[in-house]
Amino acid sequence: MESKRVAQGVPLEEYQLTRADHRRQQEAVATADWVQRQVAKAPRWSDEKFKAIQELLGSPPHPSEFARWRVRLYCGHVREVRRLRGQERPDGGVTDHERCGECGLDPSVIVAFEPLAGDG
Ligand SMILES: [Zn+2]
């Protein structure tokens, strides 16, 4: 599938955080906290239920269905991430943040990005 992949805030190394970035980061942290509290309250899933949900979700996509992106996270680190092909940008919907493997910030929202050549 042909898709137009866009870049934002390049060069990533020189990107300056905006007020909107700070707000998105706060929202992502608040959402993650909320989810964690709900998960802590919820009863543990039985093995049967876990299996049923897995079957419902189907098998995970094949690696060839992913495209690679370079993204700059809120904490300032630049990482490589994978997103399903056909996506114009890597920060849509629930995928707008990552756990930073370098400093451990989780969530750390994506503030700038560029598609990596050779894919998509
Ligand atoms: Zn980081």
CA dist 87 and 49 (Å) reads 31
Burial class (CB in 10 A: 0-12, 13-18, 19+), 16: exposed
Distance 101 CA to ligand 1 centre (A): 7
Distance 108 CA to ligand 1 centre (A): 7
Distance 40 CA to ligand 1 centre (A): 26
Distance 94 CA to ligand 1 centre (A): 19
pLDDT single digits (tens) 92-119: 877 899 999 999 999 999 999 999 976 5
Nearest CA-CA partner of 21 in 9, 36, 35: 9
Distance 118 CA to ligand 1 centre (A): 26
Nearest CA-CA partner of 66 in 80, 83, 81, 79: 83
pLDDT single digits (tens) 10-38: 999 999 999 999 999 999 999 999 999 99
